[in-house]
Amino acid sequence: MPRLDPSIALALLRIATGLLAFPHGLRKLLKGPVAAIGGAMAAHGFPAWFAYVVVLGELAGLLMVVGLFSRAASVAVALTMAGIALVVNRADIPLIGTGDSLGFELSLLLAVASALCALAPSTRFSLDSIRRRTDRS
């Protein structure tokens, strides 16, 4: 079986993770962050304006997709998704494996995948790599 180039594998992970995170932020942005999740923020002890922080964290998925400021974007998505998993969806932890904990499972998976992207070396399949080549010239 042929081996997959690790750079391609990391690029696919970064792109897929960003593609899954970004639409959540876009939907909330279009509705208005506070209107979309301000009540949920307040219910979990956060000020309603914190909805903007969550939305920015999810919108960073677009930067992951194109590979621009990949590490910073990946950290933003990882922290946002970890917060969603542990604050918003933590009641679902005992339900893992039942099919009723998908919110927790997805947010945890996206947090881990984003953290891996933040820790992994940059790939040649990104705007960051083009920026680096341009900076060296």
User: Tell me, what's the pLDDT at 137?
Assistant: 66
Crossing angle of the two packed helices 102-119 and 70-83, in degrees rounded to 10:
150
Residue 103 included in any domain: yes
Q: How many domains does the chain have?
A: 1
Residue 135 included in any domain: no
Residue 137 included in any domain: no
Residue 131 included in any domain: no
CA distance readout (Å), 69 to 13, 79, 83, 121: 16, 16, 21, 12
Residue 132 included in any domain: no
CA distance 60 to 92: 25
**What's the whole-number mean pLDDT along residues 68-76?**
97
Check: CB of residue 99 under 8 Å from CB of residue 105.
no
Domain that holds residue 57: 6-125
Residue 110 included in any domain: yes
User: Tell me, what's the pLDDT at 134?
Assistant: 79
More confident residue, 48 or 130: 48
The tens digit of pLDDT for each residue in 22-38 reads 999 999 999 999 999 99
What backbone torsions phi and psi does residue 4 show, to the nearest 5 degrees?
Answer: -85, 130
Where residue 1 falls among pLDDT bands split at 50, 70, 90? confident
Q: pTM (2 decimals)?
A: 0.93
Provide the sign of the torsion angle of the four alpha carbons 8, 14, 17, 22, taken in this order: negative
